[in-house]
Chains A and B, each alone.
Chain A
């Protein structure tokens, strides 16, 4: 079975392997890799992290198929030689391959050599020097060099690559010429990842946008995690401006979206969710939107969606709302004549409730084997018991983490429906917390974490308050007469004591 080297993109380290696995599952491709390498792929430590991973698949076709979908793969190479030093590449190559084989390999073919590096950059002169070092090989006996092949010539064109891996932070700001790469690879490029779709769905080219539109790269990753493919039926219950259903439609699914906010879906006549689909030529893949409330979903209890992909509101940029009666108002039924165009009152919808309702919806409407993919904000205190659960759903992974600030980030959670929903067993009111998860979740009050000023218990605010107090006291003491002056001295000394205490506390 052929072995290939995958060069992943540098960012989203924790997403890369899960996306690869999902895409392989999508095409029913058996993919294998050394589990010990994962440590380096997912590592955040610049000393050991690397974007290179060897995988084994059944055929070259398989890896090409994976590359048509995976957006976190930069390119895939078939490696012919791998050493520590560039000078040893040829020795390695000649010891591994027969001379005759190399000499005949490129008969009737054209080629081009490129140099690429991870964690460093070469100028044209350096690149040429590196290529020169490979010149004494029978490999170049046949074959013609071609710099700009046309479409038809691509079949017989081979792209040779010299890859060097320095590691992302080893090189430093001032280039150290004595530093040697961790690894040098020589091989040919088999395929490029699906990075073009990111440019195609660029947010700045999209006419209709909102404050929380998901960026195209992560939308595409979410769709890949959701195993979206041609003929599928996909739902986004918090559709907003429709980033997820747009890319799901791009992958050939028929999509439908729901939202409680009519403005989000029908802002203007010529600039709305539907025109975005039109601009990308996907109108036929779009079924429409429904104005509804996530706490009372408008669907039959029936397994119908192949995947549900969504970014629920979690009260940081977009607050979650549901219909309900505000507590401070008197109960007045809506008069008969005004019911049709009545805009209902909304109340806050707590994030744990949003999550519980979302999982309930997924349990009721997904097909068995269908996936629920959603984003969940988390803090560094995240524990797996924070996650919402449902007896019908199995967690696939929640380790894809995008770090946004040092206080919080968001995770891409992927779940799979494993058994059919049964109203008499899986009804939400019959389930206990053991089944539903979310044990004192940190996403319960995320605003307090993100906008930490509001917490009031923070050291910085404490200090500020004390400073303010002491200044006020100082001013008071100045304005007062002699008799009170003694007292104010006392308060001043008190303040000094306080300050000393503060310093001690801080220590």
Chain B
């Protein structure tokens, strides 16, 4: 799971709609990829990000990033490079995601987050 994917995700439970993000990341194994800076994509994705999630990740993995987004613009290439590096080059292989609202834990295994709910959780929802 790359950090960008994490930034777009939220808890899948219906009752957490609008509240289930940013998911808290625990990581026991992660890799850093080396990929070329993609200017078009970073520019495209910039306004869609959840900056609270970025802030948490930046602290968690100790990657400093300028969070005061009012100051810099899309022309600041250095900033975009750091952002791209954080979003696309850090990949969590094993770990877990925790919903800040309902505390549900979603495991990450071999780089794929498992966002499936259990059938009893769905059943509860229908009952409620």
Interface residues of A (CB under 8 A from B): 230-233, 252, 254, 256, 260, 262, 265-266, 283-284, 287-293, 296-304, 306, 323-326, 331-334, 339-340, 342, 344-345, 367, 423
Contacts and interface: CB of A to CB of B under 8 A. Distances in A.
Contacts of A292: 12, 115-116
Nearest to A341: B107
A265 B21 contact: no
Listed from nearest, the 4 A-B pairs whose CB atoms lie closest are A231-B40, A292-B115, A298-B115, A296-B12
Interface string B112-124: 1111111110110
B43 A231 contact: yes
B117 A302 contact: no
B13 A296 contact: yes
Main secondary structure of the interface of B (DSSP, over half): mixed
Contact of B48 (A288, A297, A302): A302
18 contacts: A230-B41, A231-B44, A254-B4, A262-B112, A290-B115, A292-B12, A298-B115, A299-B10, A301-B17, A304-B45, A323-B117, A323-B118, A324-B119, A325-B119, A325-B123, A331-B120, A344-B116, A344-B119
B118 A299 contact: no
B1 interface: yes
A298 B44 contact: no
Contact of A323 (B17, B36, B43, B119): B119
Contacts of A262: 112, 114
A288 B1 contact: yes
Contacts of A423: 17-18
Contacts of B40: 230-231, 252
A323 B2 contact: no
B111 interface: yes
Contacts of B14: 296
A225 to B, nearest CB: 20
Given A299-B9, A324-B122, A344-B118, A289 B112 contact: yes
A325 B8 contact: no
A340 to B, nearest CB: 6
Nearest to A284: B35
Contact of B118 (A289, A298, A300, A342): A342
A256 B5 CA distance: 8
Interface size class of B (residues with CB under 8 A): 35 or more
Interface string B11-32: 1111001100100000000000
A302 B45 CA distance: 12
B88 interface: yes
B13 A284 contact: no
B12 A297 contact: yes
A283 to B, nearest CB: 8
Contacts of B9: 290, 298-300
A340 B4 contact: no
A265 B112 contact: yes
Contacts of A304: 8, 45, 48
Interface of B: 1-2, 4-5, 8-14, 17-18, 21, 35-36, 38-41, 43-45, 48, 50, 88, 91, 105, 107, 110-120, 122-123
B12 A290 contact: no
A288 B2 contact: yes
A288 B7 CA distance: 13
Nearest to B4: A287
B114 A301 contact: no
Contacts of B39: 231
A231 B110 CA distance: 27
B113 A291 contact: yes
A231 B116 contact: no
B116 A291 contact: yes
Nearest to A343: B116
Contact of B44 (A233, A300, A332): A233
A145 to B, nearest CB: 44
A273 to B, nearest CB: 10
A287 B117 CA distance: 23
B120 A300 contact: no
Contacts of A333: 120
Contacts of B119: 323-326, 334, 344-345
A284 B89 CA distance: 9
A300 B5 CA distance: 11
A339 B17 contact: no
Contact of B112 (A260, A290, A297, A323): A290
A288 B118 contact: no
Contacts of B114: 262, 291
B5 A325 contact: no
Contact of A298 (B12, B48, B91, B123): B12
